[in-house]
């Protein structure tokens, strides 16, 4: 087989080889982006099941299992139409995501950078005051089906807004839920996230961490968690929790997740210069007023 592949490559011109490489790269990247858009949805789960059925169909045809091959042939002939009808909402949301996000999003806008810096500053102050917080950055997977009971906000991300949303107050039910950040804006607050069923989670971690982990297991969202009891900052992504992060470590992690390596290094240098000169020194916020302090754990 290797000899046949070498012979085939040798028989083609370099123009044909370059064209084939570009063709394969485009197909691979398109499938990769579609899988990201469908991640965590019912459509993707059904797709995995259909992939297994397709494999059995292929193998049965090769080894001569006539009955199995015939049944699967008739089944697969109609199943794709059924899937489109049943999961039209998931598919439509994925296609809308293609239109709403740059297909080659190697570089984010300045609004995204500002949002990250504002969240970092707010998380630092919230941790100092031991005010619990749950801040979700939406990435490729749309979170509308995962964040329940959220209140629409639609405001530019600022450290003052994030801080205010999490101040404990009997008259405000939003502080117990999650804030969702999308495209540099706070789109909702007070959201309820799916809890993780993982048995490996540290028993000392509470509901906020379990909710953040649950969302990261089902989507590609990145979640910043501030512990109310310990006053520490954690970052949750891809089913992992990184705890006890300071300002610099949190910034490095977020930039590494959201930007290309070259862009992240540039932004980290710029942020370091800002911290040194103090041009954006707005990290300290006014302390909570009477009756607004953090609740006892």
* Per-residue confidence (pLDDT) for residue 103, from 0 to 100: 44
Among the listed ranges 36-40, 65-69, 127-131, which one has the minimum average pLDDT value?
Answer: 36-40
Average pLDDT over every residue of 172-190: 87
Segments of the chain assigned E as strands = 133-137, 151-156, 178-182, 185-191, 222-226, 233-237, 240-242
pLDDT confidence band for 19 (50 / 70 / 90): confident
* Per-residue confidence (pLDDT) for residue 180, from 0 to 100: 94
Cα angle: 145, vertex 149, 150; to 5 degrees: 85
**Strands 133-137 and 178-182: what pairing?**
parallel
Q: What is the pLDDT of residues 100-151, one digit of tens each?
A: 554 444 445 555 788 899 999 999 999 999 999 999 999 877 788 788 888 8
Stronger pLDDT, 273 or 287, i.e. the higher one = 273
Phi, psi of 143 (to 5 degrees): -100, 5
Q: What is the pLDDT of residues 205-247, one digit of tens each?
A: 788 889 999 888 888 889 999 998 888 999 999 888 999 898 8
**Strands 233-237 and 185-191: what pairing?**
unpaired
Helix 88-100 to helix 66-86 angle, to the nearest 10 degrees? 60
Residue 288 in this model has a pLDDT that exceeds 60: no
Stronger pLDDT, 81 or 41, i.e. the higher one = 81
Stronger pLDDT, 173 or 135, i.e. the higher one = 135
Number of other CB atoms surrounding residue 193 within 10 Å: 28
* Per-residue confidence (pLDDT) for residue 121, from 0 to 100: 92
Overall pTM surpassing 0.85 (yes/no): no
DSSP 226-274: E-TTT--EEEEETTEEE-S--HHHHHHHHHHHHS-HHHHHHHHHHHHHH
Residue 28 in this model has a pLDDT that exceeds 80: yes
Cα angle: 23, vertex 24, 25; to 5 degrees: 90
Averaged confidence pLDDT in the chain:
77
Task: For the chain, list the domains and their CATH numbers.
Answer: 13-100 (no CATH), 110-277 (3.40.1700.10)
Q: Does residue 188 contact residue 179 with C-beta atoms inside 8 Å?
A: yes
Alpha-carbon gap, residue 180 to 209, rounded angstroms? 15
Q: Does residue 79 contact residue 50 with C-beta atoms inside 8 Å?
A: yes
């Amino acid at each position: 087989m290797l000899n046949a592949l070498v012979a085939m490559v040798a028989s083609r011109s370099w123009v044909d080889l370059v064209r084939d490489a570009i063709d394969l790269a485009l197909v691979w990247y398109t499938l990769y982006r579609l899988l990201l858009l469908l991640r965590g949805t019912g459509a993707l789960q059904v797709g995995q099941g259909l992939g297994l059925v397709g494999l059995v169909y292929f193998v049965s045809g090769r080894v001569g299992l006539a009955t199995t091959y015939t049944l699967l042939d008739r089944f697969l002939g109609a199943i794709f139409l059924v899937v489109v009808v049943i999961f039209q909402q998931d598919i439509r949301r994925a296609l809308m995501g293609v239109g709403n996000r740059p297909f080659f999003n190697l570089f984010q806008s300045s609004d995204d950078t500002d949002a990250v810096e504002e969240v970092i500053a707010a998380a630092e102050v919230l941790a100092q005051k031991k005010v619990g917080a749950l801040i979700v950055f939406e990435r490729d997977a749309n979170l509308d089906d995962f964040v329940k009971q959220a209140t629409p906000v639609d405001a530019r991300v600022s450290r003052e807004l994030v801080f205010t949303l999490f101040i404990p107050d009997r008259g405000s039910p939003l502080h117990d839920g999650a804030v969702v950040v999308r495209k540099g804006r706070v789109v909702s607050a007070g959201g309820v996230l799916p809890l993780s069923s993982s048995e490996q989670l540290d028993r000392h971690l509470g509901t906020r961490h379990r909710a953040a982990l649950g969302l990261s297991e089902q989507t590609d969202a990145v979640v910043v968690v501030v512990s109310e009891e310990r006053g520490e900052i954690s970052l949750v992504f891809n089913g992992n929790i990184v705890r006890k992060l300071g300002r610099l470590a949190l910034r490095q992690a977020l930039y590494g997740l959201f930007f290309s390596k070259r862009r992240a290094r540039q932004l980290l240098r710029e942020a370091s210069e800002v911290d040194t000169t103090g041009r954006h020194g707005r990290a300290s916020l006014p302390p909570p007023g009477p009756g607004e302090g953090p609740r006892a754990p």
